[in-house]
Structure 1
């Protein structure tokens, strides 16, 4: 499926991150034409090749983006932050930095813009992280560019919290632990994002191949550590009280990622099933290497 993009130059913003690095790796191994944006070229030196160009730019500083989209057919942006740091807010990065890139893409005549948000972001605009992401989605929809908004389920890397708790002998869940989700590996997500270059899909929620309850995810984590499952189910009022408390008594820098986690943990989060990589295999490999 990836052969389709061989003759189209793609710009990837956020290639130093978890997902962006998987996209860059596929493009390099497939010999696809790409331009990677980074603040420091040395961070992406491993991807340098005749087909891949590394360009320095800072997406929060629009003047540095001048010319970055010249000759580009499709922009893929994985730009976003989970935790606010270095003085940057969600609005600075998830919204404004992406908007800076979108405006440059428009000036350069880019055909399509692919943006990576998160599952059910359009349903949780009250959360600080989604407020910024979905504000950018609004701008993207008005841009008159072809676009695809990808809303992935949790990454396998996000599921390490279960593995770490299991390693310590106890996993805490809220409620009965029967909420469903199908987390996805970054490499599988990167593959489907690249197929979207030539697909006329405006919005797409995607997850991994296996739909699991939180209890089942916890049990996989214990299996990876060769331990008997020890799952503690906390009353949901503790989650709700914790959510209220962090919003009331901490700054948005602190509560932003916590409210995101506590809110999504309370609901089913199931997306279109895609890919071949299994959470079980990921857990066993992580447990063996740590």
Structure 2
């Protein structure tokens, strides 16, 4: 790929840290926006410049896109904290970046949403993400919307369940998806920069059912395979109860997780990291 000047927002997050590594490995000049520079270990000073700024504060971003060819934003929150909402971060913070990108006439803006976000706009997490997607599409800039399947980092919930000796799934457990490792996802995104596809849906190499994921988690921890199937009405009731009696801060991530777990979400397959190996690796740290 040709070398380019990239502004990376969200560089200290799970995906952002892999993107930073991959961009530098491919000899791109990277400007990383960080709130706390100490959080980021500089891997190669020749290719990396840190800019201290907060994406939720537009005044701190002034002229940040000057001389930049490509903006990549992984900015978003799964669990609300610091009193910030999904609209504050997933929508408004990305809008602040977009305004600067438009002002500097950057060539390409890459935004990471999530799989099938456009079909689940009623979920609080996606409401904000997709509002930004709409704004990006009508911005006049060349753009890529990346829609990854679940991250390996999100799959640790199965391991934590498995630690107790049982994994709980809703319905038949035959719902399939192909989660992806951050390193594989970052590599696919960086490799696609030259082509600039409008939409890029990305999953890992193995399409697995929830039952199979539960089995992998239990086996990694040397537990007998015990998978408990909960009726689907209990999933719907849980979502209703949380929406009715808790704040969006509490129910947002659970609503997202429980809704997406109810159906197949299979993305085109990429990468080499296998969930089985990942679980075996992580299980070593969880075993008593």
Map of 1:95 onto structure 2: 91
Map of 1:145 onto structure 2: 141
Map of 1:264 onto structure 2: 260
- Alignment length, in residue pairs? 286
Equivalent of 2:214, from 211, 214, 218?
218
Aligned partners of 2:27 and 2:283: how far apart in 1?
33
Aligned partners of 1:213 and 1:154: how far apart in 2?
13
Map of 2:281 onto structure 1: 285
Map of 1:49 onto structure 2: 45
Matches within 5 A, 1:1-290: 4-6=1-3, 8-290=4-286
Q: Is the 8 A contact 1:76 1:115 kept in 2?
A: yes
How far has the Cα of 1:196 moved from its partner? 2.3
Runs (4+) off by over 4 Å: none
Q: Is the 8 A contact 1:209 1:275 kept in 2?
A: yes
How far has the Cα of 1:91 moved from its partner? 0.2
Gaps of 5+ in 2: none
How far has the Cα of 1:106 moved from its partner? 0.6
Higher mean displacement: 85-94 or 222-231: 222-231
Higher mean displacement: 221-230 or 71-80: 221-230
Aligned partners of 1:157 and 1:119: how far apart in 2?
16
In structure 2, the residue corresponding to 1:267 is in which secondary structure? coil
Q: Once the two structures are superposed, what CA deviation does each residue of 1:30-57 show, in whole Å capped at 9, x if it has no partner?
A: 4321110011222223335111111111
Cα root mean square deviation, aligned: 1.0
How far has the Cα of 1:11 moved from its partner? 0.8
How far has the Cα of 1:164 moved from its partner? 1.1
Aligned partners of 2:96 and 2:144: how far apart in 1?
18
**TM-score normalised over the length of structure 1:** 0.97
Task: Decide which structure has greater helix share.
Answer: 1
Q: Is the 8 A contact 2:169 2:210 kept in 1?
A: yes
Q: Once the two structures are superposed, what CA deviation does each residue of 1:53-78 show, in whole Å capped at 9, x if it has no partner?
A: 11111100001101211110000000
**TM-score normalised over the length of structure 2:** 0.97
Gaps of 5+ in 1: none
